[in-house]
Chains A and B, each alone.
Chain A
Amino acid sequence: MTRTALVRFSALTIALGCGWIAYTQAPPQGKDGKQQAKQANNKLNKVTDDLYEIEGDGGNVAVYLTNEGVIVVDDKFEYDFNDIMAKIKSVTNQPVKYVLNTHHHGDHTGSNAQFPPATELISTLNARKNMIEGKQSGAPRVTFTQETDVFLGGKHVQMRYFGRGHTNGDAMVYFPALRLIHAGDLMAGTSPLIDYAGGGSLKEWAATLDAAMKLDFDTVIPGHGPIAKKADMLTYRNNVEKLRTEITGIVRQKKSRDEIAKVVQDKYGWAPSGLQFQRGFDGMLAELAR
């Protein structure tokens, strides 16, 4: 082995090693993978007098205050638990009574295991199945298939399953009195992340959003990203449908994987290293070829 080859090989080994460490540490360390990864970094936003949003790490959290306890939607990563609790404490003395998970991913269910047994965790049956399959901790004890309604302190929250999309177990959480909905990752970012391993579907995603939009609401807390309006959900839905139509057309033309990869990268911003591409691309080609 020449000296150059050795250096190159060593460099490659180190790079791969670092890559592996970065990958395996990815969820707790956040997107940038920098040091102090376990420091929670969140902000509490007041949406209405009794509804707050916690944005920052992982998925957006909704905090609904009642005089009999707090209803929380999603709970970010494991290392966000203390920060979530501190943020809630800064606006109410009520305990967290319910945590509603929109789906199984660790950036929405990461703190589940840290809530005391008195807190009821609820998700769809499929989301729970995915958590069990993924050996995730904090699987909810209570699940539902179509709808569950939680009534606390004279307030009402409705959790609904409208069909497949991001996964096969996405729920939205509707606050009728506030005309507000937490959409989970059925609306997150600008272009959909289809988790095929988690039962997601691009084909069915738009119909799922159509069903959700039959509810009467003005405001949307998306799974990730800034608070939006109902019209933004329609835009998102149309973008999902545009992606499906365009890629279906190209798949039927028997274009190569690389050619299609270039289209989703250039037109939809799916970087080859990103989750949209890694979790969604090949599954999407397979689904749309059917």
Chain B
Amino acid sequence: MMSRTLFVRLFAGITVLGCAWIAYTQAPQGKDGKQAKQPNNTIQKVTDDLYAIIGDGGNSSVYITNEGVILVDDKFEYDGQDIIDKVKSVTNQPIKYVLNTHLHGDHTGSNVLFLPRAEVIATKMARDNMVKNNQPGVMRVTFTDETDIFLGGKEVRMKYYGRGHTNGDAVVYFPALRILASGDLGANNGPNVDFANGGSMKEWAQTLDGVLKLDFNTVIPGHGPVSPRQYLIDYRNVAAGIPTTVTSMVRQGKGKDEIAKVFTTNGGLWANPNVVNKLDQIMAELK
């Protein structure tokens, strides 16, 4: 017969899992899950013709030309009208192109709104993943290696350099501005690998090595504040350090818990809950 203690523990466990599930499935509605559908964004001027919209979901970049606007990433579905309003506050030009850095709903959520009026472009792998996951807002045009958009005398270059956050991450480069929108290949304080969508901890740093061959001074990261180039160099070193550290500790016979500590306590640069949470998959990839 089940003891009372065990029952309580089991019940608590189920409750926690249930809550986690609700939190997970509601994730697109914002971290706190409260009043989720109210957009909360600010538009920030980066140069005379480039703005960043920062707040919900991934950062959006807004490149203004005299023939229309090129938008990078479009946050959640409930941010769509707010993005349009924010763009309208700085230009009368319509949004002509929406470039998605990857498949995730916090970067592609408003695609459904833009698809009838703009060309939405992503890597083929990003699209394949969206189709596989039954996501709305699947784009009509994809590329594998590089696509260049020419609008109003300006150029935007979208490139794929390899796996990292997913298997279909693009970066968007503004050559005339020497600015890069890095998508989630550079986001917040450290890598978060989406293994289910083809991401790779092993290849991430190498992918950023490719990205860093581009000539830019400023990074608009996938999440977090607009930063200097050094941000992505540091990020690359962290991305290189994680697999090296994990592999060498495994060789020394260290267990998962011990490895997790490196990324939990006083890790400084290394502290990264995403590494702790996905340590099993990271260790499996590095085997």
Identify the A interface with B (CB < 8 A): 120, 122, 125, 128, 139-152
| Contact pick for A144, options B138, B139, B145, B150, CB 8 Å | B145
Given A120-B119, A147-B124, A149-B124, also A142-B147 (CB < 8 A): yes
- Told that A125-B148, A142-B121, A148-B147 touch, could you supply 17 new A-B pairs with CB distance under 8 A? A141-B151, A142-B119, A142-B141, A142-B147, A142-B149, A143-B147, A144-B146, A145-B146, A147-B124, A147-B145, A148-B143, A149-B142, A150-B140, A151-B127, A151-B139, A151-B140, A151-B142
Residues of B within 8 A of A145 (CB): 145-147
DSSP class of A's interface residues: helix, strand, loop or mixed? strand
> Does B144 touch A at the CB level, under 8 Å?
yes
| Contact pick for B149, options A141, A147, A149, A152, CB 8 Å | A141
Measured CA separation A148–B129 after assembly (Å) = 17
| Contact pick for A125, options B127, B144, B146, CB 8 Å | B146
Residues of A within 8 A of B127 (CB): 149, 151
- Identify 18 residue pairs between A and B in the complex whose beta-carbon atoms are under 8 Å apart, listed by A's number: A120-B119, A128-B150, A141-B150, A141-B151, A142-B148, A142-B149, A143-B148, A144-B145, A144-B146, A145-B145, A145-B147, A146-B145, A146-B146, A147-B144, A148-B142, A148-B144, A149-B141, A151-B138
Identify the B interface with A (CB < 8 A): 119, 121, 124, 127, 138-151
Q: Chain B residue with minimal CB distance to A145?
A: B146
Residues of B within 8 A of A122 (CB): 141
Q: Chain B residue with minimal CB distance to A148?
A: B143
A195 to chain B, nearest CB (A): 22
Given A142-B119, A142-B121, also A120-B150 (CB < 8 A): no
Measured CA separation A152–B138 after assembly (Å) = 11
| Contact pick for B147, options A139, A144, A152, CB 8 Å | A144
Measured CA separation A149–B126 after assembly (Å) = 12
Per CB-CB distance, the 8 closest pairs between chain A and chain B, nearest first, are: A146-B145, A145-B146, A147-B144, A143-B148, A149-B142, A144-B147, A148-B143, A144-B143
Residues of A within 8 A of B150 (CB): 128, 139-143
Q: Chain A residue with minimal CB distance to B141?
A: A150
